[in-house]
Amino acid sequence: MKRLISSFCLIVLLGVLVVVNAEENITSKEDYYLDFHDEFDGDSLARTKWTGCYLSHWTFNPKNAKTNYRFEDRKFIDYIAEDQKI
């Protein structure tokens, strides 16, 4: 029982130490290089930066690799539907 409690406490402690600040501006960090930037301020993806499919070479039918995404509050939400074919 003592080992179980110790393991649980260690997991909680590690979880607290690994908190990531999503609002952090990574472009100003030393040794980081920004490849491209997208504000997602429209209603579609910029095709010069994004593709319209998931790993199409992994499927027999490229139509099955079509991306599913939506925009909410200027945030890009990419998801895989439960009925996504492979």
Calculate mean pLDDT across residues 56-84: 82
Q: Which of 17, 19, 71 is nearest to 41 (CA)?
A: 71
Residue 60 confidence (pLDDT) = 84
Q: Which two tokens stand for residue 45?
A: 């993806």
| % of the chain residues with pLDDT over 90 | 0
> What is the pTM for the complete model shown?
0.47
Residue 27 confidence (pLDDT) = 65
Asked if the structure places residue 41 within a domain, the reply is yes
Q: In whole angstroms, give the CA distance from residue 43 to residue 4.
A: 49
Asked if the structure places residue 51 within a domain, the reply is yes
Name the pLDDT band for 25 (thresholds 50, 70, 90): low
Asked if the structure places residue 86 within a domain, the reply is no
Asked if the structure places residue 61 within a domain, the reply is yes
Q: Which two tokens stand for residue 42?
A: 């429209």
Residue 13 confidence (pLDDT) = 53
Q: Which residues span the domain enclosing 73?
A: 2-79
Residue 80 confidence (pLDDT) = 82
